[in-house]
Amino acid sequence: MAAIRTFVKNCQIINRNCAVLSPHVQKHGMSQYPSYYIEPVHKKEIQEDLIKSGEIQKLAHLPTKAARNDQSSSFRQDDLVNLFINYVMRNGEKVLARGLVEKAFENIKRIQLEKYHKCDDVEKKAKIELAPRVIFHQAVENCKPILALTPIKRGGVRYQVPVPITPKRSQFLSMKWLIEAAKEKDATMRFHYQLALELIDAANNKGRVVKRKQDLHKQCEANRAYAHYRWS
Amino acid sequence: MIKSFASEYIFRRAYSVLQCTRFSTASQPITESKLQSFRSEENDPLKHTLDHVGQFYRIPEEEKNIFLYGGLPKSFEIQAKTFNETCLMIRRPSVDVINCLKLIDYTKPTVRFVIFGKKGSGKSLCLAHILHYAHKARYLIVHVPWVGNWMRRCKEISSSETREGYIDLNIDAAAWLVHFKSQNEHLLNNPEFQISQDYVWSKRETTPKGSPLSELVDHGVNRLKYASECVVGLAEEIKHLSRSGHCKTLVAIDGFNAFFYPHTRVFKEKKEVVPPNKVTLTEAFLSLTKFDWNNAAIVTTVDEIAIAEQDHKSHLPRYLLRKEGFEHMDPFIPIFVDNYSPKEFTSCMDYYRERKWVRYYPQQNEELALLSVNNPYNLMHLCASL
């Protein structure tokens, strides 16, 4: 599937002659399902909410897509973690990506437990976070930028203009920066260990990724004179 | 009349209730009583019985030294470092073997135990529990941590000088002698442990008859060239000492079936495979596992992981030991190590939660039991990322 997508990306004919393709393909890309199929609801709590509110009556008789392999009703499932695993994945190697993220979580637990057992102060001990998913959510939250710079051309000159970004894009940038920071490592270091260190640092508002976000915000602040170029 | 009876009854009830509250656990938080259910207060393996099965006991720091050069699996050592303590689960197979060791008639020929089970069911840790018991009961311990390290990951080879066509594993033999010495330090100081015959290594080097056993061990450690021969000599001396009643021995070998698997990763100069019957070290331990001596017990483990992956077909002893191995070990007592029982599984999950390794969520136990098939190794892997 991934091979077909890369082939399509590289295929110049399709890139150039998009208008020639049928409106059927243009509507929903390479999906195997017709457009009126709905996404499945795989979480039990959301299903129960739908039953309570009565919304389920509308969805019950609509044709539904099959659940994906990484979706289940277990409590171990986390949509944000699944998204992160997808961003880590290269060449469709989902098993490797999932293994790396799981090892990173294990490393987070080991590092935090070591700190916990070394610490003598009861108050400090209570503040050390031991759950890897909580640290992951906190790290992603702390690395989200609010503004970003886009190049806008006015009078032959390209200016870097600060613009607001959508929450989805912000979340994507946060996770992408975390993965890039984990890749900038010594050759002897493992990716999953570096990722664990980056996540712990980001959750404590320290480290490279938070610095990158703060640098971006500083640049936006410095370029605020060009903000009106958004509307010319 | 009735009034006085009633008041006496009330007074007696109140007094007994007061007595109870002195020792009551009702005031303590629920977590503490849960702690006690999976942890055993008995840290001494000499006193472990079937009542303690399913509970964890802690190995004290001083007694952890028997595993300094091997004995605990690597993943378990990492877990012990993270949890800040070394806790083993008391399981039925090891308690059975320990009870047998207490009841055996040591004047009769040696009894052989073969521990078998599926991959990851807890055979090595079962052996570790038995070793701890042997250390406490002051046995002379002859322990091979993992035969696969010799047959499949040997450090260095050399041709044997004394035996025609045999291969010596010098560094591995010397490392084993260091391990033997560290496990039996308190016993080797005994002046009664003397060598029964002369050992002539070369024109100028001999270990004379009557010198202490530790001299033989030291010679092997210092002169790598003669390390394998030292091990063979040491095996014979230990058998002699046990027969004459100077010491009680426990021979513990993990991955024993690797001594009979022909496709080792020990290669000669021209990439020729060396079968285990042409390795000097094998001689020593095959002679130790015979039943021609007494005042000893032999506990071995047969494991699929000790052989090549393409032959991981069955976990049963007859397949793993092969024809020569089975004929060598027959008759033996087979000990089956199964996956966790529901009680052991709950105990393990309670331990992980108490050590803050896993955070609780609803229906966690049922879900993990299904996913891991109650296999201890699978459970450890699943809980790693939780």
Query: Cβ–Cβ of A76/B363 closer than 8 Å?
Result: no
SS3 (DSSP) at A29: coil
* Residue among B361, B364, B385 with most chain A CBs within 10 A, to mutate: B385
Nearest to A106 among B361, B367, B384 (CB): B384
Interface contact B357, partner A, CB < 8 A: yes
What are the tokens at B28? 């303590």
Cβ neighbours of A70 in B, within 8 Å: none
Place of tokens 């002379």: B140
Closest chain A CA to residue B382: A102
* pLDDT confidence tier of residue B15, bands split at 50, 70 and 90: low
Question: Nearest residue on chain A to B355, judged by CA atoms?
Answer: A113
Rounded Cα gap, residues B298 and B291, in angstroms: 9
If you measure CA to CA, which chain A residue comes closest to B384? A106
| CA–CA separation, B13 and A226 (whole Å) | 86
Residues of A near B (Cβ–Cβ under 8 Å) read 74-76, 101-103, 105-106, 109-110, 113-114, 116-117, 130-132
- The domain limits of chain A are 79-230
pLDDT tens digit string along B255-314?
A: 999 999 999 999 988 899 999 999 999 999 999 999 999 999 999 999 999 999 999 999
d(CA B35, CA B363): 20
Distance of CA A46 to the CA centre of its chain: 22
B102/B137 Cα distance (integer angstroms): 10
Cα dist from B8 to B18, B20, B21, B155, whole Å:
15, 18, 20, 83
The residues with which B144 forms a beta bridge, in sequence order, are B253
List CB contacts (< 8 A) between B75 and chain A.
none
pLDDT average, residue stretch B145-157: 91
Instruction: Calculate the average pLDDT of chain B.
Output: 89
* Rg over CA atoms, chain B: 25
Q: Give the alpha-carbon dihedral of B335, B339, B343, B346, to 10 degrees.
A: 140
Q: How far is A131 from chain B (nearest CA, A)?
A: 7
Phi, psi of B86 (to 5 degrees): -105, 105
Confidence band, pLDDT 50/70/90 cuts, at residue B13: low
Chain B residues touching residue A109 (CB < 8 angstroms): 82, 357, 384
Task: Answer yes or no: do A132 and B385 touch at CB < 8 A.
Answer: yes
Peptide bond into B73 cis (omega under 30): no
CB contact under 8 A, A113 and B356: yes
Q: What is the ipTM of this complex?
A: 0.84
Of A102, A103, A113, which is closest to B82 when you measure between CB atoms? A113
Q: Which helix (H) or strand (E) holds B299?
A: strand B296-301
Query: Does B361 contact A110 at a Cβ distance shorter than 8 Å?
Result: no
| Structure-token match 């190049």, residue found | A151
Domain A79-230: which topology? Ribosomal Protein S7 (1.10.455)
CA distance B66 to B124: 14
Greatest extent of chain A over all pairs of C-alpha atoms, in Å: 70
Give just the sign of the alpha carbon dihedral B364, B367, B373, B379. Answer: negative
Enumerate the β-bridge partners of residue B87. B58
Share of chain B above pLDDT 90, in %: 71
Query: Contact B258/B304 with Cβ under 8 angstroms?
Result: no
Q: Which amino acid is at A34?
A: P
B356 in contact with A at a CB cutoff of 8 Å? yes
pLDDT in the model for residue B24 = 42
If pLDDT is split at 50, 70 and 90, which confidence band does B21 have? very low
Measured distance CA(B105)–CA(B107) in Å, rounded: 6
Q: Which two tokens stand for residue A48?
A: 């129960």
pLDDT tens across the length of chain A (232 residues): 666 666 656 655 555 554 555 665 556 678 889 989 999 998 888 999 999 999 899 898 999 999 999 898 888 888 999 999 999 999 999 999 999 999 999 999 999 999 999 998 889 889 999 999 999 999 999 999 999 999 999 999 999 999 999 999 999 999 999 999 999 999 999 999 999 999 999 999 999 999 999 999 999 999 999 999 988 7
Residue B84 at interface with chain A, using a CB cutoff of 8 Å: yes
Q: How far is CA A99 from CA A69, A85, A135, A136, B48, in A?
A: 15, 9, 18, 16, 39
Rounded to the nearest angstrom, the minimum Cα separation between A60 and chain B is 27
Q: A102 vs chain B: nearest CA distance in angstroms?
A: 5
Task: Find the CB nearest A102 among B83, B357, B385.
Answer: B385
Name the token pair of B353. 């939660």
CB contact under 8 A, A105 and B362: no
Nearest to B385 among A106, A114, A130 (CB): A106
Is the CB of B82 inside 8 Å of chain A's CB atoms? yes
- Alpha-carbon distance A111 to nearest alpha carbon in chain B (angstroms): 9
Is the Cβ pair B356, A130 closer than 8 Å? yes
The secondary element (H helix, E strand) that includes residue A130 is none
* A174: Cα within 13 Å, side-chain hemisphere: 27
Q: Which two tokens stand for residue B34?
A: 């849960």
DSSP alpha helix (H) spans, chain B: 2-23, 30-38, 74-83, 92-103, 123-136, 148-151, 170-183, 185-188, 213-222, 227-243, 280-288, 317-329, 342-354, 364-372, 376-384
| Whether the predicted pLDDT of B25 surpasses 50 | no
Residues of B in contact with A101 (CB under 8 A): 385
Closest to B185 (Cα-Cα) out of B206, B213, B163, B160: B213
Cα B104 from Cα A50, distance rounded (Å): 67
Higher pLDDT, B95 or B206: B95
For the stretch B233-250, pLDDT in tens is 999 999 999 999 889 999
Chain A residue numbers with beta carbons less than 8 Å from the beta carbon of B359 are: 130-131
Residue contact A117–B84, C-beta within 8 A: yes
Using pLDDT thresholds of 50, 70 and 90, give the confidence band for residue B337: very high
Q: What pLDDT, on the 0 to 100 scale, is given for residue B208?
A: 85
Q: Do B356 and A106 touch (CB under 8 A)?
A: no
Distance from CA of A76 to the nearest CA of B (A): 7
Helix (H), strand (E), coil (C) string for B60-115: CCHHHHHHCCCCCCHHHHHHHHHHCCCEEECCHHHHHHHHHHHHCCCCCECEEEEE
Q: Determine how β-strand B56-58 pairs with β-strand B87-89.
A: antiparallel
Looking at the complex, report in whole angstroms how far the Cα of residue A36 sits from the nearest Cα belonging to chain B: 34
Per-residue model confidence (pLDDT) at position B360: 93
Give burial (CB, 10 Å; 0-12/13-18/19+) of A32. exposed
Q: Is B370 on the interface with A (CB under 8 A)?
A: no
Which residues of A fall within a CB distance of 8 Å from B384? Answer: 102-103, 105-106, 109
B140-144: strand order across its sheet: B140-144, B249-254, B296-301, B111-117, B333-337
Residue among B82, B364, B386 whose CB faces A110 most closely: B82
Paired with B294 in beta bridges are B109
**Are B178 and B231 in contact, with CB atoms under 8 Å apart?**
no
Pairing of strands A157-164, A147-154: antiparallel
**CB pairs A-B closer than 8 Å:** 36
A207 sits in the region (left: phi over 0; alpha: psi -120 to 50; else beta) called: left
Residues of chain B in contact with residue A75, where contact means CB-CB under 8 angstroms, are 361-364, 367
CB pair distance less than 8 Å for A76 and B386: yes
